[in-house]
A and B are shown apart, each in its own frame.
Chain A
Amino acid sequence: MSNDPLLQPFQLKHLTLRNRIIVTAHEPAYPEDGMPKGRYRAYHVERAKGGVAMTMTAGSAAVSKDSPPVFNNLLVYKDEVVPWMKDLTDAVHEQGAAVMIQLTHLGRRTRWDKEFWLPVVSPSHRREAAHRAFPKKMEDWDIERIIKDYADAAERMKAGGMDGIELQAYGHLMDQFWSPLTNELDGPYGGSLDNRLRFAFDVLGEIRNRVGPDFIVGVRYTGDEMLDGGLSEDDGLEISRRLRDSGLVDFLNVVRGHIDTDAGLTDVIPIQGMANSPHLDFAGEVREATGFPTFHAAKIPDVATARHAIAAGKVDMVGMTRAHMTDPHLVRKIVEKREDDIRPCVGANYCLDRIYQGGSAYCIHNAATGRELTMPQTIAKAEVRKKVVIVGTGPAGLEAARVAGERGHDVVVFEAASEPGGQVRLTAQSPRRREMIGIIDWRMSQCEKLGVVFHFDTWAEAETVQAENPDVVVVATGGLPHTEVLAEGNELVVSAWDIISGDAKPGDKVLIFDDAGDHAGLQAAEILADAGAEVEIMSPDRSFAPEVMGMNLVPYMRSLQKQDVTFTVTFRLTAVEREGGQLIAHVGSDYGGVAKQRMVDQVIINHGTIPLDELYFDLKPHSSNHGEMSHDQLIVGEPQSVVRNPQGSFQLFRIGDAVAARNTHAAIFDALRLLKDV
């Protein structure tokens, strides 16, 4: 048996967990009608196959009708969830992993304008900033029915064959009772710590009455709200001891912080550019103070840190949740001593941010995650070996190269730059985005193992490509910044790329017109502000940087607000003209009737990219399909078979931003779904 601390089994009451790595609760928003159907099951089964010890399903499965999901969570207040849960549980067990579920009542952390239009409830009228609902202050019958709802839901989960449950108590109803900041009740459920904890223990007691002693019950809770007047670390340690001493729970799963704002949430679940494992030592203090099984997750993206967490006795089970979005086979690769092959989580947090904005979680650079029913996590070999020529080593080109290499094809890649990465390398120039380069580095090391041949510093022309006698050509040449959006003065502006790359020196008084709303605009703003410029970011949208999304915005705001960067929404830059050494920026509005001016010395435009498609159009007439991609075949997952030119000697495909300006995930998904069938 291995002596790797991560691979030692752990005995949790009657349950043996096969190693020390777990996927903690997170709702990827894959339920259908609130039920864990095929897609949901396939997602968890894939992680079980990959070797994880336990997967905690359902972030925040709703126990009550007045706890409606804000995106798309499991509805465990319905009896019909039981058979679905049973199917999932059986399938996960078959792969040797344990499976539990997180139950909750969201309290004020939701909205009332959902399915049943019931008022949101909390132990006070205080509103949560993130979800904006003004709650009803709970009365006795609210408390009674919700205690019953929890117990009913726990019973359903036991009937579904699950190994256990965990109750959520950070930012949800349970700890809204705990925290003096959100509990204004008198009497038995408000006031002293004893009273504020009463709701939780009533819930736990009722659950135990229903499920008996042989069902595992844990609590995932904040051990320190890190808010003035909120639960302190001392409170957290006291709560930890009381949970242990209650005899009602089997494990503690501790987090630190508060989640009532985007900023708070991001400190609890840090993203790229922020410190790794910031709360691990704190989790260690909880374990030391209680001597009780302790679980913890918070930006532990790498195996070395996870191993340290176990070896140093910080925790009993280490959560690598986002790391498993990126590589569901992480544990298997540790077992097989192939840690170098683990696809690294780069902390882009596309998964989490997208739940709110796009409806379901996807990994920025694993397009198979959340698509397990149609996309392979392990690429099968092709029956026929083909010559595949790829142009471009951005995320699209490199994913195409990797997948084609895994298919066993003879793969040749051309790149104009000296280094791979395309726009990912550009974005990684900013220190807070540096981890992004993991997307490229991992693919390069995989491609090297697969024997993919690269030609750097090579501007591929049609003849360069044709000289390779390819069967398939993939043009992934990306794009160039598109700045020609003004009625006049396009020649007077620079792009956000010019600032990030260092090609343009920062001005003193700068207007950034950003209607792409992605990272580039904010990165440029940060570089400019750091260089001492007075910066205004202008967007014609109702909010700025909409593509950056909630948690990703947090570090930017912390930097930009301090530097007095100003944000102007609902205005549009229309033209720029030179006057003396200055520039006059003419500003209008899509709402009409406005003509303003700004005097600045630099204007930056962030308007996405325009495809670099010359090579594609040069190759098009020589290809058998004239570049046409059958969308139906692409969606169904069949090989492309369009023939428009029988004389053509190769199939030609264009992917990523070479088609239209999109994002990293889109580029990688383009490549995966096309090449998996080549």
Chain B
Amino acid sequence: MKILVSVKRVIDANLRPRVKADGSGVELSNVKMAMNPFDEIAVEEAIRLKEAGVASEVVAVSIGPDKAQETLRAALAMGADRAILVRTDEEVQPLDVAKVLKGVTEEEQPELVMLGKQAIDDDANQTGQMLAGLLGWAQGTFASKVELVDGKATVTREVDTGLQVVELRLPAIVTTDLRLNEPRYTSLPNIMKAKKKPLEQKAPADYGIEIRPRLKVLRTEEPQGRKAGVKVGAVAELVDKLRNEAGVL
């Protein structure tokens, strides 16, 4: 069974992003970039399925500029077998990502496509769902557990009310949540092995897609700073403040 995993190059989740002076977006020059953490979880899960003998091949795909190769190399170092870069310098929004991934999926014919539930830069949380819609495949989003048995995927989803278990007929789409696994440490010997793994370059046009942003960013602002707290003298005062000032009781 082949698994396709999409990975996105984003600002390192451990950094505090700075908004550009003109408010047009987040400052990305000279900033450490990394694989979207939810995608890293997707890669890890795919590799674990391969190590367990359930999957036979793991293909990582990314859409973006040349630099996105770095993120694919990281996926290869983790244990993906090969990688595809769909190269573009355009800004790629979720619908275009989903369209390109549909093209890649049709060419690669995987039985499972795994994606992070969202990217930590735009937090759109759309690509997996859109891809499922475009392909007409079943989808299991926000997965905290994935089991593959007899041509079916049993996916435990993290939803607001708790956990929901869905059964999907393969081929299917799974988007991964935080608690699915803890991605592995990537060792230097594996980074060296990854250098020799194939990384194929494609263009959106190869899939008949023209990248065309439909959304326009009007303004980007930093969140307001945290206001200083106050010390309360007694429980009664706290309750009073919660009720009358914070309005939460």
Pick from B67-75, B113-121, B124-132, B149-157 the stretch touching chain A: B67-75
Smallest beta-carbon distance B196→chain A, Å: 11
Q: A453-B30, A456-B32, A456-B70 are in contact. Are A497 and B187 (CB under 8 A)?
A: yes
A458 and B185 form a contact (CB under 8 A) = no
Please indicate the chain A residues that have their CB under 8 angstroms from the CB of B230 in the complex. none
Contacting B30 at CB < 8 Å: which of A429, A451, A478? A451
Is A567 engaged at the interface, CB distance under 8 Å to the other chain?
no
Is A144 engaged at the interface, CB distance under 8 Å to the other chain?
no
B187 and A503 form a contact (CB under 8 A) = yes
Q: A453-B30, A457-B73, A458-B70 are in contact. Are A417 and B188 (CB under 8 A)?
A: yes
Within 8 A of B (CB), among A429-484: 429, 451, 453-459, 478, 480-481
Q: A457-B73, A502-B184 are in contact. Are A418 and B34 (CB under 8 A)?
A: yes
Within 8 A of A (CB), among B188-234: 188-192, 195
Contact bitstring B154-169, A, C-beta under 8 A = 1, else 0: 0000000000000000
Q: A417-B186, A501-B187, A502-B184 are in contact. Are A454 and B32 (CB under 8 A)?
A: yes
Q: A418-B74, A456-B70 are in contact. Are A429 and B185 (CB under 8 A)?
A: yes
- Nearest residue (CB) in A for B12 is A456
A480 and B188 form a contact (CB under 8 A) = yes
A426 and B185 form a contact (CB under 8 A) = yes
- Nearest residue (CB) in A for B15 is A448
Smallest beta-carbon distance B106→chain A, Å: 29
Smallest beta-carbon distance A505→chain B, Å: 10
Main secondary structure of the interface of A (DSSP, over half): loop
Is B42 engaged at the interface, CB distance under 8 Å to the other chain?
no
A456 and B33 form a contact (CB under 8 A) = yes
Instruction: Give the number of residues in B that approach A within 8 Å (Cβ atoms).
Output: 20
Please indicate the chain B residues that have their CB under 8 angstroms from the CB of A453 in the complex. 30
Contact bitstring B161-180, A, C-beta under 8 A = 1, else 0: 00000000000000000000
A503 and B70 form a contact (CB under 8 A) = no
Is B35 engaged at the interface, CB distance under 8 Å to the other chain?
yes
How far, in whole Å, are A113 and B33 apart by their CA atoms in the complex?
Answer: 60
Q: A416-B188, A502-B184 are in contact. Are A456 and B30 (CB under 8 A)?
A: no
How far, in whole Å, are A416 and B236 apart by their CA atoms in the complex?
Answer: 57
How far, in whole Å, are A480 and B185 apart by their CA atoms in the complex?
Answer: 16
How far, in whole Å, are A480 and B71 apart by their CA atoms in the complex?
Answer: 23
B187 and A457 form a contact (CB under 8 A) = no
Please indicate the chain B residues that have their CB under 8 angstroms from the CB of A502 in the complex. 184-185, 187
How far, in whole Å, are A458 and B70 apart by their CA atoms in the complex?
Answer: 6
How far, in whole Å, are A473 and B187 apart by their CA atoms in the complex?
Answer: 25
Which of B184, B185, B191 has its CB near the most chain A CB atoms (within 10 A)? Answer: B185
Which of A416, A418, A455, A478 has its CB near the most chain B CB atoms (within 10 A)? Answer: A418
B30 and A416 form a contact (CB under 8 A) = no
Please indicate the chain B residues that have their CB under 8 angstroms from the CB of A417 in the complex. 77, 186, 188, 191
- Nearest residue (CB) in B for A455 is B70
Within 8 A of B (CB), among A475-508: 478, 480-481, 497-498, 501-503
Please indicate the chain B residues that have their CB under 8 angstroms from the CB of A612 in the complex. 188
Cβ contacts A to B, 15 pairs, < 8 Å: A416-B188, A417-B191, A426-B187, A451-B30, A453-B30, A455-B70, A456-B33, A456-B70, A457-B74, A459-B191, A480-B188, A480-B192, A498-B189, A502-B185, A503-B187
10 more CB-based (< 8 A) A-B contacts, given A418-B77, A457-B74: A417-B188, A418-B35, A418-B186, A425-B185, A426-B185, A426-B188, A456-B33, A459-B73, A480-B188, A503-B187
In the A-B complex, the 7 residue pairs with the closest CB atoms: A457-B70, A501-B187, A418-B74, A457-B74, A416-B191, A453-B30, A457-B73
